[in-house]
Amino acid sequence: MREAQDREKNRQGTVRDSRMVVIGCVCSVVLILLITMGSMLVFRENMLRSAQLLEQTDYEQYEAYYVMIVSDHSSAFWQSVYESARKVGKETGAYVEMMGGNLSTGYSREELLKIALASGADGIILEVDESPVTAECLEEAQERGIPVVIVLKDNNLGIRTSFVGVSNYNLGREYGRQVLSITDKEVRKVLVLMNAETQYTSQNIIFSGIQETLDGYTDIQVRAAAVENKGAFDVEESIRKLFMEKTLPDVIICLDEISTSCVYQAVVDYNKVGEIDIIGYYDSESILRAIDRNVVRSTISIDTAEMGQYSVMALDEYRKNGYVSEYFSVDTNLITAENVKEYLGGGGSEKIP
């Protein structure tokens, strides 16, 4: 009798456990269904919201795609030129890209030029060099009808749509006049730093302008020195080697922004402030501060806003009319201790004739 009762209890316990398992499974299924339905509702709501945002988004459309290719896209000078070109392009319906600025891998100018041609750019703004590869790319651009505007320094390849820059001869003359303006000490040796990585005829024209301005002053000796310019470190090392020489110049003329900054730092590091006068290039914040502290005597600044503006204008005009002026002259400004406060405060300019 007792055994029968025990079997009945076990049977009832088993049934009860089975019911609990079934109820648990049902509850789990219901919970999963609820979670799934909730997720679907949230997903649907997000999709609807995203669709509404997409409908509200005002996409900018451009009529043309221009690329800018320069030796150092991170320099203050070229960033200023690009910013001006980008703003003008936006106003005229052209998208301007600083090619290489957003790439994780470093590419040479020749490689970037090939990428620009392959990407189907409608126009190219180029700081040119005179390598055979560049010449081939310029010829290809010409054959494909892609206008190329050379900026800052012209080349002797003769393959371009237009040139936006300054008169290199007048620039050299102004450098020479700045040397003659140094009257507080005797000037005998003048050193002009030139880029060893290029064969720009423009550098030679600037140097000729300096020589002609100083012609007749037999006590002043002018010579040029090649500076490795593959990067800021190379420039710095080349200039430090110059400062290790026994006989240092009285005046150093710099033809680019990096050389000016490196020479300024070397003069400070080697305790030559007041012994060597620096005539520099461009108006970065550090160069202006150096003039204000009487470490740099003067600098010649190119109007970067005009350079960017004229570059885009030249490409736009060529695309619309099929022709454009071969030369756009950009203003240059002379900055000295007398007017540097105006530039540090965002003031005016003294234009070089």
Tens digits of per-residue pLDDT, 159-177?
889 999 998 899 999 999 9
Q: What's the pLDDT at 2? A: 54
**End-to-end alpha carbon distance in the chain:** 126
Cα 187 from Cα 212, distance rounded (Å): 16
Q: Which residue has the tokens 């290029």?
A: 198
The C-alpha atoms of residue 329 and residue 4 are separated, in whole angstroms, by 114
- Cα–Cα distances (Å) from 276 to 27, 250, 263, 285, in that order, read 88, 5, 10, 21
10 Å Cβ neighbour count for 161?
23
- pLDDT, residue 351, reads 42
Q: Report the pLDDT value the prediction gives residue 59, as an integer from 0 to 100.
A: 54
Helix (H) or strand (E) holding 11: helix 2-56
Q: What is the pLDDT of residue 70?
A: 92
The pLDDT of residue 81: 95
Per the structure block, which two tokens stand in for 300?
Answer: 């010649």
Q: Are 335 and 296 in contact (CB under 8 A)?
A: no
Q: Are strands 277-281 and 298-302 parallel, antiparallel or unpaired?
A: parallel
Given a cut of 70, the residues of the chain with pLDDT beneath it are 1-22, 24, 38-60, 102-105, 157, 197-200, 230-231, 345-353
- pTM across the whole model: 0.73
